[in-house]
Amino acid sequence: MENITASEEGKIDFTYGDDKCQTYYKTFGDVRDRSKRPLIVLHGGPGLIHDYLVIHSDLSSKYGIPVILYDQLGNGRSTHLKEKAPEFWTFELFIAELENVIDYFGIRDGYDILGHSWGGILASEFEVRKQPKGLKHLILGNSLAASSLWNESIGQLLQAFPDDVKEGIVGGMKEPQKYFEALKKLHAVHGCAAKPFPSALMRTLESVFGPDGDPTVASAPIVKDWSIIDRLHLVRPPTFVVNGRKDLSQDFVVKPFFERIQKVKWVTFEHS
């Protein structure tokens, strides 16, 4: 992953209210060649960066599918707004930024979206709220249909871990370093079993918890008490739901997508 070279990278001007910001992006393949629909990849968090998802550039090199990745506002190489109150960070903000990315590349008439974890939340909210005509396919990877289901899953999985991991996860962003240490131990079993962690994944986590990290977005209560279950019937495009047998997103966390989205396929990877 370290040697993958982007076709293009840069920053997109983005104005939200009185704030003039920039969204950092990276593309693989020729997005402006409209012979194949581009894929927009939305990273997790809230509060992470795109780095750990660069592996999706394989879709460009192997199949000619243009891939767009970007750091959501407040993260990575995009504009940071550490002075903003937690209430600033909303679905409306991140949906507006996504629309701005779509307009920048001139692809409003046709694109697919892959959302990982929080990225899947953002993608599904975008679809339900905006009903964008250009969204042709939706991929929800290791995502969730409600924060209550996610919390229930984490609670179940934590039972197999020692007290320091349980306490670190429960303490959350109130004690970020304890949370970080606990997250690494939890993710080593249920997030990424590769040992050691790929450097891109460590960079992603350190973008929040490292010495130069910014926990502003990760600390915001964007998904507190969130659910889309009662609105999933509004999802129109064919949707592909993916999770792993040992995933943080256990089957019951993603099952509502399968039960309520009209056109849907669900695959669980048994050794993942």
Residue 189 forms part of a structural domain: no
Percent of the chain having pLDDT more than 70?
Answer: 99
Residue 41 forms part of a structural domain: yes
pLDDT for 152 beyond 50:
yes
Residue 259 forms part of a structural domain: yes
Residue 201 forms part of a structural domain: no
Count H helices and E strands in the chain, helices first.
8, 8
How large is the average pLDDT for residues 185-209?
94
Query: What is the token pair recorded at 48?
Result: 């992470």
CA-based Rg of the chain, rounded to a whole angstrom?
18
Which pLDDT does position 192 carry in this prediction? 92
Residue 160 forms part of a structural domain: no
CA proximity to 26, closest of 45, 44, 47, 41: 41
Count up the domains in the chain and report the number: 1
Residue 172 forms part of a structural domain: no
Confirm whether pTM is higher than 0.85.
yes
The domain containing residue 231 runs over which residues? Answer: 8-147+223-269
> What CATH number does residue 127 fall under?
3.40.50.1820
Residue 127 forms part of a structural domain: yes
Residue 196 forms part of a structural domain: no
